[in-house]
Amino acid sequence: MVGVNATSIVLEWVLGSTQGDISGKIGQILWLIRLYFVVPLLRICLYFCLFLSLLLSLEWIHLMIVSVIVKLFRKKADKRYKFEEIKDDLEGGSEAFPLVLVQIPIANEVEVYKLSIGAACKLSWPTDRLIIQVLDDSSDQAAKNMIEKETSRWANEGINITYEARDHREGYKAGALKQGMEQDYVKQCEYVAIFDVDFQPDPDFLRRSIPFLMHNPQLGLVQTRWRFVNADACLLTRLQEMSLDFHFRFEQEVGSSGYGFFGFNGSGGIWRINAMNDAGGWDWRTTAEDMDLSVRAALKGWEFLYLGDIQVKSELPSSIKAHRSQQHRWFCAPANLFRTTLVPIAVNKKVSLKKKLYMLLSFFLVRKVVGHVFVLLFYCVVLPLTILFPEVVIRKDGAIIAPCIIAAVNTVVGTPRSLYLILHWILFETAMSYRRTKSIFVGLFRWKSVNEWVVTEKLGDSLNNKTNIESADPKHRERAKALEDRILLPELAIAVFILACGCYGFFFGKEYYYYVYMLLQVIFLTLMGFSCFGLKNTASLSSHT
């Protein structure tokens, strides 16, 4: 009732005035709204952003401290866990080697299947102690024929390799892996190594990693580092390399060294099959099936080990469309998983309080949610608005200097060769923040596209295999892109908003110079809005279901 009375008084005050006074009193009302509503609301948003910034800063300090301790005290994997190299025994044969299963899930990715299958078949592990599974979920029959033919070729050379195909994609990758584990011959295996179709392990991969699992029964997973063969393809791949190098160098290393937990990356890792079974096996309740399995195994008491010294060659998305679809899955699914596992983690009795706090606060809340929501809210909303409302003051060190220093230090340690791209990286990450934040909320609230899966487009040896690729399905070879795929209206709208704020700051700002950064951000948002990053989208057989 108070609000209604106040509104009536204001209306009577305006309407009861002469025509000449109305414009002036409307201006007064707008000034009161600005003073008592907009400015306080903007301050609240600013304080909220400062709180999120504090969480991010604490997380960054935490990662840096643990990383430095690991480096100073040389707490490498072979110092923390028992490791004995498996030696070839000419008399005993291959009895010292455990039976290992290698799984390669494929779904229409004809550009790279030869590389991954060939690398797996060249692993220096006794042939009678190795089973390679090619799990084909391809929807195109020509692709299936090509992959099956390649599998048969290696089988004829004496490799123990099997071809398993499905006529549906239920559960996507998790469904294929689960069906592969249900085969009778898998019951004899002790460990399973998983490689996505664009991954190429070195021949000694198993010899350098399996012994950790053999001699440390508490370990359920060994994860290795990804090395990107196409990092220099374009600016987009260079910027992705910087983000992922930081992920492996800090997040995975700290999780492994300090807490015995991190998220399985879905490829380039080896699971103890008993640990997988104990955790309930593969589940497709989210499209983060790898992270889901990691959480469930950790809650059963299993520990994980990250081996940064072992690197597996892989490929980065080189088109912005492929990168966007990958990022949607990488941010939507963990947010959905966080929502699903929040209570099970909190009430679990097998996990220490230290590990629980790490999983809930550091691993999920700060890295998977807070970080990207903060970037969008602060740099794309609050900071531009402070130019229009100078009553709300933001310290320059908190707005620009501190984030740049943090990003620079991360780059120096993570990807030193890309230090000169640090500003590009900051601007690109901000330009991607809308898509990531949207994906996070889709996952948290389980909106329509929560379980959407788009196979990430690969290049591989497509140039050398052009004839085969084109023959697979000519319909997917068209290079023209639909207008709606190339023009992203939300990013362009944000760019226009920031441009307006930046121009206002340029012409009327006296004390604040944030508009300089704003105008740079407009450039990257515009490039993102017109999908100008990366190489031209190569044709692929990726399915969208």
Instruction: Provide the Cα torsion 372, 378, 379, 384; round to 10°.
Output: 160
Q: Give the H/E segment covering residue 56.
A: helix 39-72
Low-confidence residues in the chain, pLDDT < 70 = 1-21, 23-24, 74-75, 90-92, 396-412, 453-455, 458-484, 510-512, 536-545
- Residue type (1 letter), 398: G
173: Cα within 13 Å, side-chain hemisphere: 25
Q: Where are the beta strands (DSSP E) in 195-242?
A: 219-228
Residue 454 DSSP class: B
What is the spatial distance between Cα 324 and Cα 135, in angstroms, rounded to a whole number?
Answer: 25
What is the spatial distance between Cα 67 and Cα 457, in angstroms, rounded to a whole number?
Answer: 34
HEC string of 74-86 equals: CCCHHHHCCCCCC
What is the spatial distance between Cα 159 and Cα 126, in angstroms, rounded to a whole number?
Answer: 10
Give the model confidence (pLDDT) of 39-71 as tens digits: 999 999 998 988 888 888 888 888 888 888 887
Give the model confidence (pLDDT) of 88-147 as tens digits: 876 667 888 999 999 999 998 888 899 999 999 999 999 999 999 999 999 899 999 999
Beta strands 269-272; 191-194: pairing state: antiparallel
What is the spatial distance between Cα 64 and Cα 70, in angstroms, rounded to a whole number?
Answer: 10
pTM of the full structure? 0.88
Beta strands 100-106; 191-194: pairing state: parallel
Residue 24: CB atoms within 10 Å: 9
Domains of the chain plus CATH, in order, are 80-318 (3.90.550.10), 319-453+484-536 (no CATH)
CB 120 within 8 A of CB 201: yes
Measure CA 281 to chain center.
Answer: 22
Q: Residue 339 has which token pair? A: 């929502």
CB 458 within 8 A of CB 491: no
Which pLDDT score, from 0 to 100, does residue 392 have? 87
CA angle 290, 294, 295 (to 5 degrees): 120
Place of tokens 């990662």: 63
User: Could you tell me which residues are beta bridge partners of residue 103?
Assistant: 133, 194
What is the spatial distance between Cα 437 and Cα 380, in angstroms, rounded to a whole number?
Answer: 12
Residue 355: CB atoms within 10 Å: 22
Helix, strand, coil % over all residues of the chain, rounded to 5 = 60, 10, 30
CB 519 within 8 A of CB 88: no
What is the spatial distance between Cα 180 and Cα 162, in angstroms, rounded to a whole number?
Answer: 10
Which pLDDT score, from 0 to 100, does residue 413 have? 72
What is the spatial distance between Cα 94 and Cα 127, in angstroms, rounded to a whole number?
Answer: 9
Q: Where are the beta strands (DSSP E) in 71-145?
A: 100-106, 130-136
Q: Residue 417 has which token pair? A: 């060769």
What is the spatial distance between Cα 122 and Cα 211, in angstroms, rounded to a whole number?
Answer: 19
CB 181 within 8 A of CB 272: no
What is the spatial distance between Cα 389 and Cα 46, in angstroms, rounded to a whole number?
Answer: 12
CB 86 within 8 A of CB 432: no
What is the spatial distance between Cα 217 and Cα 191, in angstroms, rounded to a whole number?
Answer: 12
What is the spatial distance between Cα 229 and Cα 464, in angstroms, rounded to a whole number?
Answer: 16
What is the spatial distance between Cα 173 and Cα 136, in angstroms, rounded to a whole number?
Answer: 10
Which pLDDT score, from 0 to 100, does residue 423 have? 87
Place of tokens 């106040």: 6
Measure CA 517 to chain center.
Answer: 26
Q: Residue 152 has which token pair? A: 């048969």
Spell out a b/e string for 245-261, using b for 16 or more CB atoms within 10 Å of the CB, else e: bbbbbbbbbbbbbbbbb
What is the spatial distance between Cα 381 and Cα 412, in angstroms, rounded to a whole number?
Answer: 29
Which pLDDT score, from 0 to 100, does residue 31 have? 82
CB 150 within 8 A of CB 106: no
Q: Where are the beta strands (DSSP E) in 278-374?
A: 303-314
Active site residues: 137, 290
- Residue type (1 letter), 163: Y
Residue 97 DSSP class: S
CA angle 448, 453, 456 (to 5 degrees): 140
For CA atoms 287, 292, 293, 294, the dihedral sign is: positive
In 3D space, the residue among 407, 344, 376, 326 whose CA is nearest the CA of residue 490 turns out to be 376
CA distances in angstroms from 250 to 56, 231, 265, 413, 414, listed in the order given: 14, 19, 14, 9, 8
Which pLDDT score, from 0 to 100, does residue 537 have? 47
In 3D space, the residue among 134, 179, 79, 139 whose CA is nearest the CA of residue 541 turns out to be 139
